[in-house]
C-alpha cells in the first residue's frame, strides 16, 4: 500500500502505534498509514477501499483479513471540543477536516512515542517531537503542554495508563501531575466513547495492573464511582479479592488466547455495588431479598451507564450473569436447563470467582463442577439429594414451606 501511494506520486508513511511497537521489537496490533493524498485520491488508487467518518474522513483499506487505516495528514483544528465539533457537523461537515503537512500531523498526536513516521522512500524514521528519545528512555510524555493536551481530550489520560502498562513505560512527571489534577475531566467524555476505551483497558491482557494504575491516578473513581467508593470505605478484603481474581483470570485467558468479554469483567467490577444496594433496599425500603437484588441490578447498571454507556447486548449479559448466581445457589429443578443457558459458563466462572473470594461458597462451586461432569442420570440424582437435604432442613425448621428466597427462581420464564 505504501508503495502504491509512493508510485502514484504521494508521500506515505507508517505512523503511530505500529512504528512504536516495531521499534520496541513488538508485534504491532494493526497498521496505520499517513499520507498527503486526499481521501478521494486514496479511493482512486485502491479498489478495496472505503471512506469512513464524517468529521474526519479516513480511508479503510482491506488488506487480507485486516483493515489498514489510511489518513490524510491533518493539522490541529483550534478547539475541537465535542460541542464545537457537533456544531460543525450540523452545518459544514467537512470544515473540521483540516489537512496539513506531515509535521503538523505529528504535533497534533498525543504522545511523543506515538508520533513517529516510517518513511519507505529512504527507510528512515522521521521524528519531529522527540519520540525516539522517549522510546529509548521508556517514558511516555505528551506532545506540548500536558494540561492543555489533557483538557483537549481527557481520554488521553486513559491512553497514558494503557500504554504505560502495556509497554512497561513510566509516565513523565508533567503528564502525571496533570493527570492527578484533571482526572475529574473524564466526566466530560461522552459515555459511549468511554465504553470503547474501557474495553481496551481491561481486555489488554494487563487488566490487574491497569486497575491498580487507574486507582493510583484517581481515574478508576471516575470510571466506576460506586465500586471505588466501596473499595475506599475499607473493610472490603472480600471485594478486593474478588476484583483481583477476576482481573487476573481475564489476563490469564488473554495470555492463553481464549475469548474474553467485557460483560464478565464489568459484572465482576459492579457486583459488590449491586449487593450493597440490595442490602440498602432491604433495610430502607423493606424489600424482600430477591426483589431487592433484582432492583439493585437495575439501579447499578443505570448509574454506571451515566459514566460508561454499555451497549445493550452487554448489559443483558451482565444481568444474566448476576441473576444466574441466585439460581446457581438454589440448585433447583431447573438446574438441568440452566446448564444449557448460553450464559451458564460465564455465570459458573463467576460463581467460582466468588468462591475463591469467599470460602463459604466452596461446597457450592464443587457441586456445580461435579454436576457438569455427570450425565443426565447423575445430574438428576445430585438434584434429588439436594432436594432431600433441603426438605429435611425445612421440616426441622417447622415446615414453614416456601422460604422467602424462592421468589423469581425456578418458576421464572427467564431461563
Ligand atoms: P494501539 O497499539 O492500541 O493500536 P496506537 O498508538 O496505534 O496503539 P490508536 O488508537 O490505534 O493507538 O491510534 C493511532 C495513532 O493515532 C496514535 O498512535 C496517535 O498518534 C494518534 N491518536 C490516537 N488517539 C489520539 C488522541 N486521543 N489524541 C491524539 N492523538 C491520538
Ligand atoms: Mg493502532
- Identify the bridge partners of residue 62 per DSSP, sorted by sequence position: 67
| pLDDT reported for residue 167 | 97
**Number of the ligand 1 atom closest to the C-alpha atom of 16:** 18
| pLDDT reported for residue 97 | 60
**Cβ atoms of 28 and 67 closer than 8 Å:** no
Q: Which ligand is nearest to the CA of 31?
A: 2
**Number of the ligand 1 atom closest to the C-alpha atom of 156:** 27
Tell me where in the chain the CATH 1.10.3090.10 domain(s) lie: 206-398
Tell me where in the chain the CATH 3.30.460.10 domain(s) lie: 1-137
| pLDDT reported for residue 89 | 44
Compute the distance from residue 317 Cα to the ligand 1 centre, in Å.
30
185 is annotated as an active-site residue: no
Instruction: Catalytic residue, from 11, 105, 110, 127: name it.
Output: 110
C-alpha cell of residue 265: 469483567
User: What is the block-wise mean pLDDT of the chain (415 residues), using blocks of 10 residues?
Assistant: 96 97 95 95 95 88 91 76 45 56 95 97 95 98 96 96 97 98 96 94 95 97 96 86 94 94 95 96 96 97 96 96 92 86 93 92 94 91 89 76 45 38
**Residue 95 CB neighbour total at 10 angstroms:** 13
| pLDDT reported for residue 83 | 47
Compute the distance from residue 159 Cα to the ligand 1 centre, in Å.
8
Ligand 1, from 114, 149, 160: best to mutate by most atoms within 8 Å of Cβ? Answer: 114
Those residues whose C-beta lies under 8 Å from the C-beta of residue 108, and which sit 6 or more positions away, are 74, 75, 76, 100
- Geometric angle at alpha carbon 206, from 200 and 207, rounded to 5°: 70
Burial class (CB in 10 A: 0-12, 13-18, 19+), 350: buried
Q: What is the pTM of this model?
A: 0.88
Spatial separation of the C-alpha atoms in residues 63 and 66, rounded to whole Å: 5
Compute the distance from residue 21 Cα to the ligand 2 centre, in Å.
10
- Cβ-count burial 288-308 (b if 16+ within 10 Å, e if not): ebbbbbbbbbebbbeebeebb
In 3D space, the residue among 141, 142, 151, 17 whose CA is nearest the CA of residue 80 turns out to be 151
**Residue 148 CB neighbour total at 10 angstroms:** 10
145 is annotated as an active-site residue: no
In 3D space, the residue among 199, 206, 346, 319 whose CA is nearest the CA of residue 264 turns out to be 346
C-alpha cell of residue 85: 465539533
Cβ–ligand 1 distance for 115 under 6 Å, the answer yes
| pLDDT reported for residue 408 | 42
Note every long-range contact of 247-253, with CB atoms under 8 Å and residues 24 or more positions apart, other chains counting: 247/202, 247/207, 247/208, 247/210, 247/211, 248/207, 248/208, 249/349, 249/353, 250/202, 250/203, 250/207, 251/205, 251/206, 251/207, 251/208
**Residue 206 CB neighbour total at 10 angstroms:** 23
Architecture of domain 1-137 in this structure:
2-Layer Sandwich (3.30)
In 3D space, the residue among 313, 343, 314, 312 whose CA is nearest the CA of residue 327 turns out to be 343
> What class has domain 206-398?
mainly alpha
In 3D space, the residue among 213, 250, 204 whose CA is nearest the CA of residue 353 turns out to be 250
Residue with grid cell 506532545, as numbered in its chain: 143
Instruction: Catalytic residue, from 30, 145, 196, 366: name it.
Output: 30
Spatial separation of the C-alpha atoms in residues 38 and 56, rounded to whole Å: 12
Spatial separation of the C-alpha atoms in residues 278 and 292, rounded to whole Å: 5
Amino acid at each position: 500500500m505504501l508503495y502504491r501511494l509512493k508510485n502514484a506520486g504521494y508521500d506515505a508513511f507508517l505512523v503511530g502505534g505500529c512504528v512504536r511497537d516495531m521499534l520496541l521489537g513488538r508485534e504491532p496490533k494493526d497498521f496505520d498509514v499517513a499520507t498527503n493524498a486526499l481521501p478521494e485520491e486514496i479511493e482512486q488508487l485502491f479498489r478495496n477501499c472505503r471512506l469512513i467518518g464524517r468529521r474526519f474522513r479516513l480511508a479503510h483499506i482491506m488488506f487480507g483479513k485486516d483493515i489498514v487505516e489510511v489518513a490524510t495528514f491533518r493539522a490541529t483544528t483550534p478547539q475541537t471540543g465535542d460541542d464545537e465539533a457537533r456544531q460543525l457537523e450540523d452545518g459544514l461537515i467537512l470544515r473540521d477536516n483540516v489537512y496539513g503537512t506531515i509535521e503538523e500531523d505529528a504535533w497534533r498526536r498525543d504522545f511523543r512515542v506515538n508520533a513517529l513516521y516510517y518513511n519507505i522512500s529512504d527507510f528512515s524514521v522521521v521524528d519531529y517531537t522527540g519520540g525516539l528519545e522517549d522510546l529509548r528512555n521508556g517514558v511516555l510524555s505528551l506532545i506540548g503542554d500536558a494540561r492543555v493536551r489533557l483538557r483537549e481530550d481527557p481520554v488521553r489520560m486513559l491512553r497514558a495508563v494503557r500504554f504505560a502498562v502495556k509497554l512497561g513505560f513510566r509516565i513523565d512527571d508533567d503528564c502525571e501531575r496533570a493527570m492527578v489534577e484533571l482526572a475529574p475531566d473524564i466526566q466530560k467524555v461522552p459515555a459511549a466513547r468511554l465504553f470503547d476505551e474501557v474495553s481496551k483497558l481491561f481486555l489488554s491482557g494487563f487488566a490487574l495492573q491497569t486497575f491498580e494504575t487507574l486507582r493510583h491516578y484517581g481515574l478508576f473513581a471516575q470510571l466506576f464511582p460506586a465500586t471505588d467508593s466501596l473499595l475506599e470505605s475499607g473493610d472490603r478484603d472480600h471485594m478486593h479479592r474478588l476484583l483481583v481474581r477476576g482481573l487476573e483470570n481475564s489476563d490469564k485467558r488473554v495470555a492463553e488466547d481464549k475469548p474474553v468479554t467485557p460483560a464478565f469483567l464489568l459484572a465482576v467490577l459492579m457486583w459488590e455495588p449491586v449487593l450493597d444496594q440490595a442490602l440498602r433496599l432491604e433495610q430502607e425500603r423493606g424489600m424482600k431479598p430477591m426483589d431487592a437484588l433484582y432492583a439493585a441490578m437495575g439501579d447499578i447498571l443505570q448509574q454506571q451507564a451515566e459514566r460508561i454507556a454499555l451497549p445493550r447486548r452487554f448489559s443483558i449479559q451482565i444481568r444474566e450473569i448476576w441473576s444466574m448466581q441466585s439460581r446457581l445457589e438454589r440448585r433447583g429443578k431447573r438446574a438441568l436447563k440452566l446448564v444449557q443457558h448460553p450464559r451458564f459458563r460465564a455465570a459458573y466462572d463467576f460463581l467460582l470467582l466468588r468462591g475463591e473470594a469467599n470460602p463459604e461458597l466452596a461446597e457450592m462451586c464443587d457441586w456445580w463442577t461435579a454436576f457438569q461432569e455427570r450425565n443426565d442420570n447423575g445430574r438428576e440424582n445430585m438434584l434429588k439429594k439436594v432436594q432431600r437435604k433441603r426438605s429435611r432442613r425445612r421440616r426441622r425448621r417447622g415446615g414453614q414451606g416456601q422460604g422467602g428466597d424462592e421468589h423469581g427462581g425456578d418458576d421464572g420464564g427467564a431461563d
